[in-house]
A and B are shown apart, each in its own frame.
Chain A
Amino acid sequence: MAGFNKVVSSYEEAMQGLADNMTILAGGFGLCGIPEGLIAQIKKMGTKGLTIVSNNCGVDGFGLGILLEDRQIKKMISSYVGENALFEKQLIAGELEVELTPQGTLAERMRAGGAGIPGFYTATGYGTPVAEGKEVKEFNGRNYILEEGIVGDFAIVKAWKADTFGNCIYKDTSMNFNPLAATAGKITVVEVEEIVEPGQLKPSEIQTQGIYVDRVIKGTFEKRIERRVTREA
């Protein structure tokens, strides 16, 4: 690597430094917009005791679900889980911890973490089990709870295209949590479909700025569809 060139050529290099008991922020919504190759590399490395912050935990045999197979995940911070039988089994057996966080709060916790904001108040979850143990504050007659920003030792991100400086753009709804995770990793790794030269993406089109990105790798993607629903032509 030289100067601002963030491109790495192997998955080993992309995830170098990942160690047991680290926290990883992962982009993706369901199976849409997930860094497939980076997840596969984590499985290959066999890293254990991981805390993973991601809206969901994949499905059996695909996405983050594959990290359950060798019990690599200690804790999930998610808004909706349990699309996979293995997840359910490990949860009931007490081998896996889950911190359920409302989807918007989860997104904002990543945004805040990346923006250097340690906490924020939100009405979401007030008066529900989510509020247990959290500070409550009243603003203009309405109650809000304190939620904390979140940062990861690593952020793993899927983008559509990046230039070699790490400037990224996303395709359609595969964007989801990816730009947020990208801002909040101590080491942010982006797996993309295509790497282009600086200047090929318009400056005003950039959705994740290279300043947030440490490593870029070109991947290949299966892009499995979770619920294929169609209508007659």
Chain B
Amino acid sequence: MALSREQIAMRVAQEFSDGNYVNLGIGIPTLAANYVPEGISVMMHSENGLLGMGPYPTEDQVDPDMINAGKETVTAITGASIFESAQSFAMIRGGHVDITVLGAFEVDVKGNIASWMIPGKLVKGMGGAMDLVAGAQNIIVTMTHANKNGESKLLKACTLPLTGVNCITRIITDLAVLEVKDNAFWLKERAPGVSVEEIRSKTEGELIVEGDVPEMQFN
């Protein structure tokens, strides 16, 4: 069965290693903060200028000067640091953030990503997404495998305006975990109960399946 948003977030969190600095985009990626495996410490980077983002505040902790990149009220953990925007993006562009997780409309076999603009719809902007995909060491895209009409979002070539080129190496969808290399999607894991055939039918770009593909494990 296809994973829920929470299950995708749980699977994302399994990618974290002890000591990682992590930037989580809005939506499913943000939920991954709730599922950091026990015994592992990660520090969350928020691109408006906070390293060591904590949970949402309680009512009496709310501070208008303390927000995250989604403009939500937030707290800082012990040992956090706060800095200006050029410094924040130096951390990103300079490759100092270990893992970035973000959503997308489309990804293709070259590792190109489209996530910010749908022609004909109002364009609000890319925010920090272009900097993040150009800079992070390890970028994970989370999205549903297909759109509401059942059409694949894992394509031969992106059709929408790009956010970045040749930058995506790992995708976690509601159906599968895939790697992107050599102009193909490599199937690494299946969601529990989802067949290789179903994944293949919803993957437009070339899909490479090696041997028996394991199911994702959730504790």
Contact = CB atoms under 8 A, between A and B. Distances in A.
A173 B47 CA distance: 10
A32 B125 contact: no
A127 B164 contact: yes
- Interface of A, helix, strand, loop or mixed by DSSP: loop
Interface string B80-123: 00111110110011000000000000000000100001000011
Contact of B67 (A88, A92, A100, A173): A173
Contacts, number: 176
Interface residues of A, number: 57
A202 interface: no
Nearest to A178: B84
A159 to B, nearest CB: 11
A152 to B, nearest CB: 16
Contact size range, B? 35 or more
A104 B89 contact: yes
Given A29-B85, A129-B117, A179-B84, A233 B71 contact: no
A137 interface: no
B72 to A, nearest CB: 4
Interface string A105-118: 11110110000000
Interface in B30-87: 46-50, 55-68, 70-74, 76, 82-86
A103 interface: yes
Contacts of A175: 49, 82-84
A230 interface: yes
B70 A227 contact: yes
7 contacts: A100-B126, A103-B89, A104-B130, A105-B131, A124-B130, A171-B65, A225-B62
